[in-house]
């Protein structure tokens, strides 16, 4: 059995939803399509498709294979293009992972421009607030917010974001503004449990001396938007990255606190599996994002 041909036929059956339509698309016979799918199932010793007289449906194994088969076929096409042409046109499906808030606020507005520039790329964006396994879960690229890269992955720094301690004006009017990190002990704070230490806030003064405070928290959340909403409602003091609260600070809905102290910045990174030959679709995406965030990032601009 030609396994690459079998993957191509199986992926086309899944895309077309029919053995007959797949045969038409591949300019072959339905019997040949059926034979390849049957041989693939026999080779793998698992059923890939549930068949009825009216419709086809993927089994769990079929769903997993369909996703990987599509990625394999894209890689083969790009490999052939590398061998046959010095100038590769980026094409195929590009699976991108990013955190929910950052992806919604700062990546979503960029996608129309990227697709207009690269019309042969099919963009598949998945927003989740966890560290995904790029290779195991079939992603080509991830945008991560981190203070460090990864030894297993290639990382390119796109921008930085400041972490800022702040509160709403009505909270400050009621409770006053802390002047030193130690003053936080007498305030209501909202902890971001997505950080390693939600209750321990680490700051440095102008002499770079560290100050660590275990703050009293009236609320915790692992979602930055929820922490932000609580602060806007006057519930307490927070720290969050400027990519999330930059607009609130510019509009005065949140007020920065603790002048003379600051938290460590975090990096916005593009990460992808280490490969000897970087695929064209990943390369153009990384270059595009680096261009979009060059200079002062949009969340730290005055307007």
Chain segment 41-71, per-residue pLDDT in tens: 888 888 888 887 677 888 888 888 888 888 8
Record the pTM.
0.67
Do 277 and 253 lie in a common domain? no
Same domain, 209 and 284: no
Are residues 280 and 230 part of one domain? Answer: no
Instruction: Mention every residue, 6+ apart, whose C-beta is less than 8 A from residue 177.
Output: 167, 255, 257
What confidence tier does 85 reach under pLDDT thresholds 50, 70, 90? very low
The predicted structure's pLDDT at residue 86: 40
- Quick one: 255 and 180 in the same domain? yes
Average pLDDT over residues 136-162: 82
Q: Which domain holds residue 174?
A: 163-262
pLDDT for residue 150 is more than 70: no
Rounded CA gap, 256 and 296, in Å?
A: 19
Are residues 72 and 208 both part of a single domain?
Answer: no
Domain boundary residue, one of 84, 110, 144? 84
Q: What is the CATH number of the domain that holds 34?
A: 1.10.10.10
Residues 275 and 135 in one domain: yes
**Dihedral of alpha carbons 273, 278, 283, 285, sign:** negative
- Residue 238's pLDDT is 97
Stretch 138-153: mean pLDDT, rounded? 76
Q: For residue 27, is it left (φ>0), alpha (ψ between -120 and 50) or beta?
A: left
CA-to-CA distance for 189 and 217, rounded, in angstroms? 5
Quick one: pLDDT band at residue 72, thresholds 50, 70, 90?
confident
Highest mean pLDDT among 23-37, 163-177, 191-205: 163-177
Q: Which pLDDT band, with edges at 50, 70 and 90, does 135 fall under?
A: confident
Give the pLDDT band of residue 117 (cuts 50, 70, 90).
Answer: very high
Average pLDDT over residues 182-199: 90
Mean predicted confidence (pLDDT) in 127-153: 80
Model pLDDT, residue 303: 47
pLDDT tens, 214-255? 999 999 998 999 999 999 999 999 999 999 999 999 999 999
Is 2's pLDDT higher than 60?
Answer: yes
Geometric angle at alpha carbon 301, from 238 and 230, rounded to 5° = 20
The confidence score (pLDDT) of residue 277 equals: 58
More confident residue, 64 or 158: 158
Residue 121: Cβ within 10 Å count: 19
Instruction: Please indicate, yes or no, whether residues 47 and 108 belong to a single structural domain of this protein.
Output: no
Q: What is the pLDDT of residue 100?
A: 92
As a whole number, the mean pLDDT across the chain is 88
Confidence (pLDDT) at 91: 86
Same domain, 54 and 182: no
CA distance 36 to 6: 5
pLDDT exceeds 80 at position 80: no
Give the pLDDT confidence score for residue 147 in this predicted structure: 63
Looking at residue 255, its pLDDT comes to 97
**Closest to 281 (Cα-Cα) out of 107, 82, 112:** 82
- 125 and 181 in one domain? no
Task: Give the strand pairing for 163-167 and 255-256.
Answer: antiparallel
Task: Compute the average pLDDT of residues 145-158.
Answer: 73
Angle at 30 between CA 28 and CA 34, to 5 degrees: 110
Same domain membership, residue 170 and residue 145: no
What CATH number does the domain containing 184 carry? 3.40.190.10
What pLDDT is attached to residue 16?
A: 86
Does 252 lie in the same domain as 110?
Answer: no
Length of the chain: 303
235 and 100 in one domain?
A: no
How many Å apart are CA 191 and CA 73, to the nearest integer? 45
Q: How many domains does the chain have?
A: 3
């Amino acid at each position: 059995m030609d396994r690459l041909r079998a993957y191509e036929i199986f992926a086309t059956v899944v895309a077309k939803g029919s053995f007959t339509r797949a045969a038409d698309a591949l300019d072959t016979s339905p019997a040949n399509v059926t034979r390849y799918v049957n041989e693939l199932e026999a080779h793998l010793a698992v059923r890939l498709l549930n068949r009825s007289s009216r419709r086809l449906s993927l089994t769990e194994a079929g769903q997993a294979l369909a996703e990987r088969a599509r990625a394999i076929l894209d890689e083969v096409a790009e490999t052939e293009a590398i061998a046959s042409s010095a100038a590769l046109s980026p094409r195929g499906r590009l699976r991108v992972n990013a955190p929910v808030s950052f992806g919604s606020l700062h990546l979503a507005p960029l996608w129309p421009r990227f697709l207009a520039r690269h019309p042969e790329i099919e963009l598949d964006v998945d927003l989740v607030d966890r560290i995904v396994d790029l290779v195991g879960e079939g992603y080509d690229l991830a945008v991560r917010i981190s203070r460090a890269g990864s030894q297993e992955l290639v990382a390119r720094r796109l921008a930085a974001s400041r972490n800022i301690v702040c509160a709403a004006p009505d909270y400050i009017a009621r409770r006053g503004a802390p002047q030193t990190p130690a003053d936080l002990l007498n305030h209501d704070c909202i902890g971001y449990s997505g950080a390693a230490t939600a209750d321990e806030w680490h700051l440095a003064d102008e002499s770079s001396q560290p100050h660590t405070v275990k703050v009293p928290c009236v609320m915790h959340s692992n979602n930055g938007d929820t922490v932000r909403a609580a602060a806007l409602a006057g519930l307490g003091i927070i720290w969050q990255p400027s990519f999330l609260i930059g607009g609130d600070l510019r509009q005065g809905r949140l007020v920065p606190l603790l002048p003379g102290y600051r938290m460590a910045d975090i990096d916005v990174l593009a990460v992808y599996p280490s490969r000897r030959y970087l695929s064209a679709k990943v390369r153009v995406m990384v270059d595009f994002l680096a261009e979009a965030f060059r200079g002062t990032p949009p969340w730290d601009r005055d307007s």
